Chain A
Amino acid sequence: MKRISFKTNFILTVIFVIGSGFMLLWASNSLGDYWARIITLMAIYGIMATSYTLVNGVTGIFSLGHAGFIAVGAYTAALLTLPIQQKAMSFFITPLIWPLNSIQMGFLPATIIAGCVAAFAAFLVGYPSLRVTGDYFAIATLAFAEIIRIVIQNSYSVTNGSLGLKGIPPYTTIWWAWGWLLVTLIVLGSFKFSSYGRALRAMSEDTVAARAMGIDVFKHQLMSFVVSGFFAGIGGALYAHWLTTIDPRPTSLGIMLTFFVLIMIVVGGLGSLSGAVLGAVFFAFSAQWLRIVESPMNFFGLTIPGIPGMSMLIFAVVFILIMLFWRRGIMGRDELSWQYIYNHFSKRVGDQD
């Protein structure tokens, strides 16, 4: 089996990124507003999924708190970019506290600050929670995510409580979303294949053995958790400026969102960054595409009325089939690299001979 050299790899990747850029340019110009929105959503889900798989897949600790960090990022960014006049209108029960009521900044700094605040939240949650492992850790993070949501729900003077925020400027375009996804992939990819990343993978295989090798398990887990929190915050910021309104309901920024992202990474393959992106793209695309089965159909004069909910049924069946036939998700733990494609391709040719 031939190894693809670094140079070929690099050139192919650059060509791929530029090619994808042109694809997106084409999509944003000719596919219409609706699909442009969905393609943007794919990248936002992609960021949420890759950052989640860093904790759940690569590090191998099962967290259920991802939506909490997404919510922190979404609220931070939204509060920073909301026009001052809009803030005065929305906070009609309790006015917004100083200094948030007089700040308005650009999208990029707001997104980065959102990431940092979410990372800090991840540190606060991770520091005590990482003392426990396994199911206990899952429960602890789930509880912390709920606490974050309930704090948001009750802090009327900061987050407008259950009334939520509205009128957030629609800054998130295809370019912002996919650009941030590219940044996320570069950073998380380098992280995964650095010595830290190898330590994380060693821990996910066997914590005791990794500790015996001299790896500081707690420190590495906390680091992965904080990095994941940062990109969850970025994802949340993009999401808020995509949807233009956020609220702390369990169905919008609560446990349901965590489960959606969990579905994406499990379908894509736990521990694979490219798998997480594939899972996210698949999730966002099929949720919309399957709407076809819900609209009334006409088979040669025979009209079948649309059944609402039919698409979710098919969605569930597709996921069960994927889990039956690809038990480790689409990508398993592999990355969709040029080497991976080359290996698959040469294997297939070999089989035919």
Chain B
Amino acid sequence: MRERAIRFGSHGTLAGIVCEPAGRGATRAVVMVNSGILHRVGACRLHVKLARRLAERGVPSLRFDHSGIGDSEARRDSLPFEKSAVLEIREALDWLATKRGIERFTVLGLCSGADMAFEAAREEPRIDGLVLLDPWAYRTPRYWWTHYRARVTSAAAWRRLWERHAGRRVAPPAPTGPAAEEDLDLPTYVREFPPRERVAADLAAMAARGLRLLCLFSGGQGDHYNHAGQMRESFRDVDLGERLEEVFLPDADHIFTDLGHQQTVLRTVEGWLVAASDPAADAGAPQALPATAGSSA
């Protein structure tokens, strides 16, 4: 395994770490993108640990910082983050294609990173795999059932309801601290889920060209996702078949702070990626190593 710090992009201002197996000859690589403003090491160092495990299994990767994040310089143009992030993911693919002769890619991201990975895959045919951690989610009838079932049996929920009606509820404190202290040259991104119909159309197009997805949901996005298989159910009108592997870790938080959950995520993603990188996998769908939580394929 070998790691190298690189500079790339049209102005050489993007910083990344390429992590590679000892031998050359890989035909597929994984590109890992920022989650929010967390730098390229990933939440709780997830990207570093995953990159090294992948390299041991023969899969190269590039983890990098978008402009203005981590160790990459801010852009000089006024391109919105949604556009510049996609452009920069393509520049990462270009670097791997030019320097390593790799032509097929999986892009991995958490939260806003998942959003940008998805947006890049819409435009970039070289991306034929996505690993999305807490991506956009769309509520289903079962979501609402799960949501309200938990509440009708909760004493706290009844108390809140009573307080609201009695006018006794104390307003939550106004946000203070970190948000007001953000650096001015940070890219701005407000996470808004696109209309489900748009995402359904994109998924249909991606599936038609053979793209495969591993979507892993934590319990930290409970406002949008709360039961195993919700993604498949919410896109019932798209023939995803075995192209979608969906995993739910209900006890995990959004950035996987529990060490046990980190191991589950690493094992699941590594298994899926290694299978996807096997030339024989082109004949069939990759399978994640068994996760300890609910999984729906």
- Chains A and B come from one and the same complex: no
* Interface residue ranges, B against A (CB under 8 Å): none
* Interface residue ranges, A against B (CB under 8 Å): none
